[in-house]
Amino acid sequence: TQSHSEISRVKNLNKLQIGKNEVEAWYFSPYPAEYAHLPKLFICEFCLQFYPSLTQLTRHRTKCTLQHPPGNEIYRSGNISFFEIDGRRQRSWCRNLCLLSKCFLDHKTLYYDVDPFMYYCMTVKDEYGDHLIGYFSKEKESAEGYNVACILTLPQHQRKGYGKVLIEFSYELSKVEGKLGSPEKPLSDLGLLSYRAYWQEKIVELLLESEDEISLDEIAHRTAITHGDIMHTCQALQMIKYYKGQHIIHLTDAVLEQYQKTRAKTKYTIDPDALKWKPPV
């Protein structure tokens, strides 16, 4: 884990205008040199093309016809959709997405080779189009069993529960694949907080649902969370007891209380029936 001051390269961007939101860049991102150090970089929120001035963005917007991310809409429920975008087919869009997301991700080298990845982009719809909220990338084939490479909620939409929806969606894809999955390491501080919160919620949910004891295998099978991630979560929460020669997962009052608070805040959960998806071959 890194602190915000240990940046690998000096931050080269100031403010970004994305749609109607203005945000501050957090980290270095390899936008072309002539776009760096401007007071503000203007980004088309649909095609993610970038411009040095509002005039140029406005001119672009009169010609840009995109109203949602490119690729296939594989999920829609309420005003939330997910689009699946193949890095190889939508190279320049995906490179623009990587440039933008690098502004908020520092802990790992971002891959400029977008071809080996699929991008799962979450949008919220209004009368103007499907607006990008966040995304995760996923290797088409992961030797390590990772189901997420990079995950991001755009800063203007953070702390509203969207990160949890992205994570939930990534595990729904793993369930369709019939695999267990885990995010690529290392996780950022924010990534770790969000994943721990998700794992905890899912495990507690199953413990509450099941009348009998539930095994580690069964939790893994039903959530697509790996045994390792389940064990670490339970250990961190002191939920593992050694009883009659066996390790037992048991609920504590503290964990239960935390769970009820989280549930009360939950606004949106993925509806598995609204997912129309087959693993890409």
Q: Is 118 in the site for ligand ACO (CB under 6 A)?
A: no
Relative to beta strand 182-183, strand 146-148 is parallel
Q: Is 181 in the site for ligand ACO (CB under 6 A)?
A: no
Tell whether omega for the bond before 116 is within 30 degrees of 0, i.e. cis. no
Q: What sign for the dihedral angle of Cα 4, 8, 10, 16? A: negative
- At 71, list the tokens: 């690729």
Give 159 or 244: the residue with its C-beta nearer to ligand ACO: 159
From the list 172, 184, 201, 205, the catalytic residue is 184
How would you class 107 by CB atoms within 10 Å of its CB: exposed for 0-12, middle for 13-18, buried for 19 or more?
Answer: middle
Residue 44 binding: pick among ligand ACO, Zn ion, none (C-beta 5-8 Å cut-off by kind): Zn ion
Chosen residue from 13, 44, 80, 224 binding Zn ion by CB under 5 A: 44
Using CB under 5 A as the binding criterion, the count of chain residues that bind Zn ion stands at 4
Residue 199 binding: pick among Zn ion, ligand ACO, none (C-beta 5-8 Å cut-off by kind): none
39-47, 142-150, 171-179, 214-222 -> range binding Zn ion (CB under 5 A): 39-47
Q: List helix spans (H) across the chain.
A: 54-63, 91-102, 162-177, 189-209, 216-223, 227-236, 253-265
Give 44 or 80: the residue with its C-beta nearer to Zn ion: 44
Residue 207 binding: pick among ligand ACO, Zn ion, none (C-beta 5-8 Å cut-off by kind): none
Q: Tell me the per-residue interface mask from 54 to 93 with ligand ACO, x by CB under 6 A, - otherwise.
A: ----------------------------------------
Q: Tell me the per-residue interface mask from 189 to 208 with ligand ACO, x by CB under 6 A, - otherwise.
A: -xx-xx--x-----------
Q: Which of 37, 47, 1 is nearest to 16 (CA)?
A: 37
Q: What is the number of alpha carbons within 13 Å of residue 186 lying toward its C-beta?
A: 10
Q: Is 265 in the site for ligand ACO (CB under 6 A)?
A: yes
Crossing angle, helix 253-265 and helix 189-209, to 10 degrees? Answer: 110
Contact 24/14 with Cβ under 8 angstroms?
A: yes
Residue 64 binding: pick among Zn ion, ligand ACO, none (C-beta 5-8 Å cut-off by kind): Zn ion
User: Contact residues for ligand ACO (CB under 6 A)?
Assistant: 104-105, 148, 150-153, 158-164, 183-184, 187-188, 190-191, 193-194, 197, 262, 265
Catalytic residue annotation:
184
